[in-house]
Structures are given as C-alpha cells and as structure tokens.
Chain A
Amino acid sequence: MAVSAVSLQHLKKSKDLLCIVILALIAILAFISRLLSVIRFESVIHEFDPWFNYRATQYLVNEGFYKFLTWFDQVSWYPLGRVVGGTLYPGIMITSGVIYKVLHFFNFNIDIRHICVFLGPVFSGLTAIATYLLTSEVCTKSSGLFAAAFVAIAPGYISRSVAGSYDNEAISIFLLMITFYFWVKSVKTGSSFWAACTALFYFYMVSAWGGYIFIINLIPLHVFVLLLMGRYSKRLYVAYSTFYVLGTIGSMQIPFVGFQPATTAEHMAALGTFGLLQIVAFLHFCRTYLSSDSFKTLLKRFLIIISIIGISGFAILQKTGIIDPWTGRLYSLFDTGYAKKHIPIIASVSEHQPTAWPSFFFDLHILVPLFPVGIYFAFKKLTDESVFIILYGITASYFAGVMVRLMLTLTPIVCVAAGIAMSYLFDNFLLSSKSKTTVIKVEESEDIVSSAESLPESPASPKMGSSPTSPKMKSKKTENKSSILTKENETKDNTPTIELKLIVTLSMLLIFCMYVWHCTWVTSNAYSSPSIVLASRNRDGSQHIIDDFREAYYWLRQNSAEDAKIMSWWDYGYQLAGMTNRTTLVDNNTWNNTHIATVGRMLASNEENAYVLLRRHDVDYALVMFGGAIGYSGDDINKFLWMIRISEGVYPEQVKEENFYNSRGEYRVDDSVSPTLRDSIMYKMSYYRFKDLYPNNQAYDRVRGTPVYSKPIQLSIMDEVYSSENLLVRIYKIKKPDNIGRSLQSAAIFNSGRRRKRNRKSRKD
C-alpha cells in the first residue's frame, strides 16, 4: 500500500495503454481468424441469404437510397413480385452502402463485393470491443478483456460472421452487445444521454435484424425483475423511460417494422413495463408522503392489481384482434413440436431445429462449464448490472436450446460470464507477489489470451485493497458487498499455496490452449466453407474444387433469355436471383407459403399435371440439384419429403405424403420405388439419363447408396438443356405446347418411334 501517488498514476496509465493494445490485438485476431474461407477459396459471398443481401446492396449502391426503399422486385416471386423495400431489414445494406460511399469519396475504389465479404469480420472485431465494454461495465476490466478474447474466436459466433457470410447476424451481434452496454451504463449512471445512446443503437439493431425482439423483451424483463427485487431507482426510471420512448419511435421508422411496436404481442411486454414503471415512479413519489409500512402494502397491492389488469387487458385485446397474435415462428420457440405440425416450412430449415447437446460443446467448448460459474459470481455480487447478465444468460440459453440458430445470441453472454469467472479465478490464483515467476511463464506461453489474463491482473491487486479510493461512486449496498467480497478474497488468498496456484494456473492455461485450438479447428473445418463451392481431396492429396453451382448458374445467366422464368425449390431462389439475374418463382424469403407449396406440388406431380402448372406459371426453365453422381447429400431428392409435406399442407387432395413411400413404407429410389415418386417430375429430372453414365445398367446413386430404378426414364414435357460437370445442377427447358394440339407425351411417343429407327440406322453406320 506504500505506493506513491505518482507511480500509481503511472501504473494506471500504462495499464490503460496495455488494455488498449490488448483489445486492439483481440479485435485484429477476431478479424483474421475469419478469413480462412477467403484464403482457401476466394472473396465470394456464401450460402443463400447473403446472396440476397448482396444483391440488395448492389441495388442500393447503384440506384440510390430512395429507390432502394421503394424497391419492388419483379424478378422474384413470379408472378407476384416482392415489395423488397418494405419487407427487409435494411441495416446491413445501408452499412455497406455507407462504407462504400465513404471509401469512394476518398477515391478508394473498392468493389462492393469485397466490402460485403469483409463486413462480417470487421464487425466481429467491433463485437470484441463491445463485449469488452459490457463486461468491464459489469465486472472488472480484466474480465472484459477475457470476455473479448473469448468472443473473438468463439465458434458459435464465427459460424455466422466468417468472411463472405454477409448476413444480418454479422453486424447484429455487435449491435446487440453495444446496445446492452449502453443500457447497462445508463442504468448504472441514470444518464439520459446513455439511454439515448441505447435507443440509437437499438434503432440501428431494429434496422438490421429481426432479433431486435430479444432486446425489446430482455430490457423490459430486466426492469421488471429489478422492480420486483425492490431495486427501483431514479436511474432506472430515467434510463428506461428515455430508452423506450426514443427506441420505439426509432424502430417505427423502419418500413418493415412500422406500427408493430404498437400492435403486436411481441412488443407488448415493453409497453406494459413502461406503464408499470410510471406507476411505480408515482408510488415512490407517494412514498415521500407516506409511512414506509403503509407504503409497502400499498405498493404490493397496487402491483398485483396492475399486473392482473395489464395481463387480462392484453389477453382481451389479443382475443378481439386489436393486437396481432404471436407469429408461428415465435410459437415454435415455446413449443418445439409446433412448427412440425403446423408450419412445416419453418421446421424444414435445419437451423430451426432444436439444438443437439454436442453442438453446445462444439460451439462453446470450455465456455460451457465456465458459463454457470460466471452466473454464480454475478449472483454473488448482485448489482443492477449483474441482474441483467443473469437474465440475459438464462433467457438466451433457453432459446439456444430450442433453435440451433439462436446459439448465436447465447454465445456473447456465455463469453461475458466466462470472462467474469476467469477474472475471479485468476484474481485469486495469480494475485500474490510471490507468484511472479508464473506470470512471466504465462506471458511466454501464450500471446493474446495470456496477456489478456495476466497483465492487467497484477496492477489490479492494489486496487482491490484500496477499494475506497476507487473513483467510481457506488451505492451503499454494492460497496458493502464488495468489501465483504474483498474480505473473502483476502481470507482465501491466504489458503492456496504456491504449488496449488501453479497447478491451477497451468491447468487453466492448458485449457485455454485447447480452447484456441478447438476454435481454430472448428472454424477451419466447419464454418469456412462457402457452400457454393465445394472442395474435396484428390487421391494425391491436392485440392479438387467442385464448382458446379456457379457453372450452371453462369450458363443460365449467359445463355437464357433475359426474361426467362426459372422454377426451382425455394432454397436456391436467392442464389439464382443473384447469380443468374433471372426471374424465380420462389426464394428464401418464405413469405408466401401457398406459392412455395405450388412449386412443391409441381415437382411432386406427374408430367401431365406438372405441365399444366408449369405453363400456368410461365416457367421456362426448371432446375434441380442432384447429388447422386458425386455423393452430395444436400440434394433435392433428400429434401423432397419436405417439399411434399409443405405442399400437402396447402393441397391435401393433390399431394399425399404416404403415396411417396413404397409398399413397405420406405422412401426408396431403387426398383422398389413407389409409382407416385417414380412419376413425379422431381424424380424424373433427377435421374433422367443418369443410367447412361454407367455401363451395363449399373447406375448407382451415391447419396442414397442404392441402385436406381432400372427402366429408362421418359421425359416428354421438357428437354435437358444443361447439366453441370458433376451432374449436381440439372437444368431443363419446358417445351412449348405441341403445334397440332397433341399432348406432349403422345407427341413424344410418336417421335420416339421414328427416332428409334433412326438410331438403329446410325448404329449400323
């Protein structure tokens, strides 16, 4: 304690500098670790949804902001079209657009594609900083650095933010964390400035991702729980009132959201809490004029009555239809079986499935056991902020368990909690001045994580002792608690011996190394594939690239009429629009279930019925993915049952799932194939001419692992116009109706009679 004031200040300055340097390194690490896909493949937009975002960004950059907001897209959802400007979250496009404009203003002529590709990694670096800010606001700076280091490479977050994964989530996690940071800060300070910042970033978040619902429910929940805990304060009142009013007005500026904050059930909790807070504030105002006992009874009764009135009023409003009922996607969050029963289109998407247990470990690794530890410490030092952390942790882990996709919202809080836990652990086991040797060792063995853990800790030690001199003003309660804590720490400090400290520190270090190794491995193996380019290994170990998707898309782009309409399953809609620039019937914006079901019905129908439907929808080309030749398991035959289920939901008379199973109730493609499946154009388009590839009628489907139906497939309503190199994408052109009014089948039979003769002749030649 005998440190002079000057050297203490010096220490603090160098500590701040270290902090900034470490944080910058973490941010750079977060950026770099996401570039594997660019290094391995190229700077290309990944998967499905990013292709739409990319296309929309191009539109924004080329056509300008106002045209973008009023964009009616005629090339999708033919013949309906789509009001794009009013049905998307424009945040990510506007972000890239602004970056593009700024860079071009300074004559940095970077292609918009590269901005889109690298947006995710850049924002991940910012996420690390935002996580640091949030955690250091809740706990200490060192825990903040831990959390930042964790979140920088956590696979659960990398999965949605690698270079090229240009999706809403790429920027939303940053916005989520920064909004929460400002919220915590505004609750802590009671400053309306910070609350306005919260509202501002909340507005940004609303513009960027539908997951803003999480914020607008979590913050009211936090307020509500604080009220229940009797932690009402003027700070809370100022923070929430400012945030709610500004944030709601802001969110209503987004065309897609519009009046939803006033009419839909998802937003009602926030409104209710806002009302409740006003009442509580009023009660507190009353308290100054009442005795404490009578006030408490008044408060309790008032609360109960208000909540009953509120909930019942809400229920009545919802019944009468003034407030919209919950959407199906939200229902499926509470009843995991709901989607499969009622909305198969949601259940058919793999990322909407409930999370399997191993994927928690896969995405979070050691953070899984550290997470409850952090929550425990948050409980131990119960402040307004740590209540927030606890609530966030509990709700996010529930939602992550329901839907794989929501693992993303869980990851940051897990990192925050783990950061808190680690910081406490090292506070206790690295504290003593005797253990300087270990500190040095730590520094040598690992650069970023270890520097994040060890360096700020040693200067933190005098601070712990001199807690009364800390500049921050704390409420009395917390001060008491922290002093208890420090006492506990001191008593604990005496117990662990140097050996124990060494063992704990080294073992934690080992675990960190494993974490880093695991994250790198997962990133490189699971999350860095663009999925539009497939990579395999040749026998000599060299990389073989399967580029069938782009090959076929580019063929369509160059060699089909500009107004051609392409029918395919909705999965490929965005890619088709982005890469072929042609009109599609359905795409990944699954807003019209009937239209999707109609496409499913086309694919499931026999040729005669399909032709009527295809003609009715002006279809020029039909496109299927077929993996049987190279063993690509995500192909259309494997997805076919979902297509049938979705169309059965709309056309129960025409499409029946059981017809597609054979007599033993199996879904087979070999000789025991069910006649309905065999006659469906999906089956025909997939296996047409496939047998020619193999000699002696030994066609073998490498995905299903079976031989295929042995009789040749007759396809008379369409012509194969292109198939990609590995037969992965097959494109068919729909024939025009017969000139003399025959059905196309009879015309084909007539022609084949002639052709067969000609073939024989040519063979003799």
Chain B
Amino acid sequence: MNLKYIALLTTLFLSLANAIEVPKNVFINNLHRQLDISQSVVRENVAISVKAKEDGVKFFYLTYKQDLIPYLSTMVAFTKVDKEEVLEIEQIDLEDDSDLAYFKVNLEKPINTGERVIVNVEVSIIKVLKPYPKYIEQNDDQYVLFNTNVYYLSPYLVSKQKTTFKIGETIKSYSEDPAPVKVSENDVYYGPYENIEPGTEKIVSLHYKFKGILIHFEKIERTIEISHWGHTVGFKEDLIVHHDGSELKNNFNRIAFQKSKFYTETPSSVKDMIFVLPPRATDIFFVDTIGNVSTSAFHKDETRTLLQVLPRYPLFGGWKYTWSQGYNNPLDGNVKYSPTLKKYVFQAPVLLSIKHVPVDHFKLNIILPEGARNVDINLPYSFDNEERKMTYSYLDTTGRPTIVLEKENVCDDHFQYFQVSYNLPFYFPLQKPLVVALFIFSLFVISMIWNRLDLSIVKVKI
C-alpha cells in the first residue's frame, strides 16, 4: 500500500514538474463558487476576483483536473461589468500527461498592480452524479452522490473562498470537514476559507435525494432537410437514451408496478419525455426500430407543440431505449430571402432536446436543396468536426449539399440557433421536371425502337 502511494506521489510530482510555468503575477483575493447539483447537468458558477501583483497582466489561468475534462460540456467566462462580452478562453496543450489541464483566460484589458477584475466562469459538467445506493427497490427514491474538491483548484493563492451547493431536495448526508459547514433549506454552504495554497484539495461528498431525471442521451443524430419543392423543412432525430440511476435490486415487477399506479409513484423511473416542437410542426412521428410506438401523444397550441414521448417501457436504472422522432415545418417560417445578402438564409436551433439532459455524442446533418451554392454556415460555437458531402434523394441528379457537424458532450447550454445561407441556381425550378420529362421521353424512345425491331427467325404470315 505504501509503495503505491509513493509511486502515486512521484508521478504527481513528475507531472507537476512537467506542467507549464504559471507566472505568479496575480492572486485571487476573493472567490465564490456556486454549484447547482439538483439536475444531471451540474452547473458551476465561479465568481473570481483576480488581483494583479504586477503591471500589465493580460491573462490568468484556470486549472481543472485532467480526469474531469471528458465531463466538461461548456465553459464561459465573462467580466461582471459586461455580461454580453465573453472572454476568450484557450486550453493549453500539454505534451506530457499531466493530471491538470490549464485554461488561459484572456482579459479584456490589462490590469496593473493592485487592480482587480471580477471574472465569472460558468462551467457545465455532465455525468458526474453517481447513483447511490447502486441498487434500489422499485418504489424507492433516487439518491445520488456528488464528490468534489471543496476548494477551487487554482494555480494561484486564494485569499478567501466560499462554496455553495444548491441541491433543491432533502439532503441525506454531507462531509462536515472542512469546517465551517452550514445547511439551510436545500442548500449547503462551505466556508469561508482563507489563504488556500495553490493545488490544495479536499474532497467533500454530498448524498442527497435527486429531484431531476437521471438520464443521458448516448447519441442524438439530427437531420434537417430543407426542401423548396415540398415547401417544408423536415426535422428528424435519432436518439439513444440511457437511464443512469440506481438499478433495480429485485428486477422489474410488472404487477407491483401496475398496482403502484394507483397509490404510489416509482420515482426513479422515467415514464415519459417531453419535447417542445415549434408551433407549426406537422406530420409528427415517433418510431423505433420495430415500428410505430403507439403510446405517444402530442399536444398543440399556438406557441408550441408538445411531443410527449412515452417509451415502450418505463425506464429504470441501467435501461436503454432508442427511437426516432421527427416533424415537418413549413418553409416560410424557417427560410427567408435576404435582399442584402442576396441569399436564402435558414435559421434553426442546433438541437432539440430536453432540458438538463446531457448528450454524449451529437451529430447534425443539414441537407440543403439540390444545387445550392455559396453555402455559408454561422455557428454559435465551435464543433469538433465539420464535413461537407452530397446526399442523393428523390429525383436528384446532381445531389444535395450536406453539412455534417459533430460534437461531444452537449448539454442544454448548446440550445442555440445557427444560420445557413445559400444561393439557388436560376434553373432550380426546372431541374426536376426536366429530369422526369427526359426519363419518360427516353422510355418512349426505347419503346419506339423496340416496336420496330423484328427479332423473329421465321416470318409468320397471318
């Protein structure tokens, strides 16, 4: 055991030695860290008051544990003065395997000695809530465990820090060390702590009843097809959902489940998911690999359409479900001709999903009309992978330009709009009718030739 620790310590030391040199030109004189852990997307809001020790400090660093990086979904920094203006954050590439990841935050304007600037860093972290206990009974509540470093991991000295956890439900247990700890209603307050050395760690655990739904999408593939001929925009999503909650101790008991409908709930299960579709959504479908799912329902009013997705079976911990859903929307609400750009502009949300549910892998296919040219796309944030290709569909000859975008670790902060602009060639309205006409014409020609061909060996006289 001791050996193991020694080995661990040495690697830690080595990795720290290899890590980048952080100039100690600033320190953090005050820090307030708020963590909302009531939903499966954990939101961390850190208000950092950075004080310069030198003149002309242009940037400072944030550090995160390397093993937390795969769970980071979004990271935004802004100064309190101007919330609209977002600060530039760049991740520092490290050649060696360090257990820390560094993010460089570029300040708006350099600060001088004694000056301070308050920077808000908003981070959403996904899939860090662990169901505990691992196995529960069918009618039991869902409890989760959340572990984190109570101190804000920083390469700088932190003079003063507070940490707040928002839970929103009854708390079962929490670490009482390091003091002071205070619990009020559904929140837990740690701190204030003073003069924390860089790299100090103290893991605290919170065990509490979870009020949200503990699921995540393993994959969402969204396909948007713009059709000027059909005057519609077709939206389609293929989804794989996984329930991350505690698994059933004694397997699923249908009879108990049916009876529990009348007097209790099965709080850990997910029976339905509600998607908000645009108001004029038509031709809504909800199918899975083996056909239409007859349990779904949708509700329509003037501002929106609600699609209630009821999976074939209620989802319990560890269970999985896959399906496809989609709808059509009229073209005129989505695509507009911009006279200034002299282009068609299409705008739509990047993703349609449920709030507080993270997505591991997201893929967006945008299929433009056949012959679209000068395609430009304006994305609200960067994607991991972008690809252009051609798709062929009904009556296509030259193919439809398609943009394929991929991104990992998506959450509801990514529910933003994107724009695609394109030109259509002048012959666009003629292309498809011409193809059909040519095809039929060639059929006639073939039949003309066929009728004039005489392949008989012996002429039969009638």
Binding site for B on A (CB under 8 A): 41-44, 107-109, 471, 533, 545, 547, 550-551, 553-555, 557-559, 578-579, 689-690, 692-693, 719-725, 727, 733
Contacts and interface: CB of A to CB of B under 8 A. Distances in A.
Interface string B309-346: 00011000011111000000000000000000000000
A720 B251 CA distance: 7
A683 B321 CA distance: 31
A557 B462 contact: no
B184 interface: no
Contacts of A692: 255-256, 259
User: 9 closest Cβ contacts across the A-B interface?
Assistant: A723-B254, A42-B292, A551-B312, A545-B294, A558-B320, A107-B392, A44-B291, A721-B251, A692-B255
B447 interface: no
B394 interface: yes
A690 B320 contact: no
Nearest to A579: B290
Contact of B252 (A109, A693, A722, A727): A722
Nearest to B395: A107
A693 B258 contact: yes
Given A692-B255, A723-B255, A550 B312 contact: yes
B393 interface: yes
B295 A693 contact: no
B374 interface: no
Among B258, B290, B292, B396: residue with most chain A CB under 10 A: B290
A44 B251 contact: no
Q: Chain B contact residues: over half helix, strand or loop, or mixed?
A: loop
Contacts of A557: 289-290
B291 A550 contact: yes
B288 interface: yes
Nearest to B294: A545
Contact of A733 (B251, B254, B319, B395): B251
Contact of A554 (B254, B259, B313): B313
Interface residues of B, number: 30
B251 A107 contact: no
A692 B254 CA distance: 10
A722 B259 CA distance: 15
Interface string B369-383: 000000000000000
A723 B292 CA distance: 20
B290 A689 contact: no
A108 B394 contact: yes
A721 B293 CA distance: 22
A723 B321 CA distance: 16
Given A558-B321, A693-B259, A107 B313 contact: no
B451 interface: no
B312 A555 contact: yes
A51 to B, nearest CB: 10
A706 B250 CA distance: 30
A719 B251 contact: yes
A721 B291 contact: no
A149 B430 CA distance: 41
Interface in B266-291: 288-291
Nearest to B290: A579
Contacts of B319: 555, 558-559
Among B313, B320, B321: residue with most chain A CB under 10 A: B313
Contact of A471 (B250, B393, B462): B462
B393 A109 contact: yes
Among B255, B293, B319, B321: residue with most chain A CB under 10 A: B255
Contacts of A578: 290
Contacts of B254: 720, 722-725, 727
A725 B254 CA distance: 7
A109 B400 CA distance: 14
A547 B294 contact: yes
Contacts of B295: 547
Nearest to A722: B252
Contact of A690 (B255, B288, B312, B396): B255
A643 B42 CA distance: 56
Given A43-B291, A555-B312, A725-B254, 15 more contacts: A41-B292, A44-B290, A107-B393, A107-B395, A545-B294, A551-B312, A553-B290, A557-B290, A559-B319, A559-B320, A692-B255, A692-B256, A692-B259, A720-B254, A733-B251
B303 interface: no
Contact of A107 (B258, B321, B396): B396
Interface in B374-411: 392-396
8 contacts: A107-B393, A107-B396, A553-B290, A557-B290, A558-B322, A720-B252, A722-B252, A725-B258
Nearest to B396: A107
A533 B295 CA distance: 12
B252 A550 contact: no
A107 B252 contact: no
Given A107-B392, A107-B395, A471-B462, A555 B255 contact: no
A559 B313 CA distance: 11
B290 A550 contact: yes
Contacts of A723: 252, 254-255
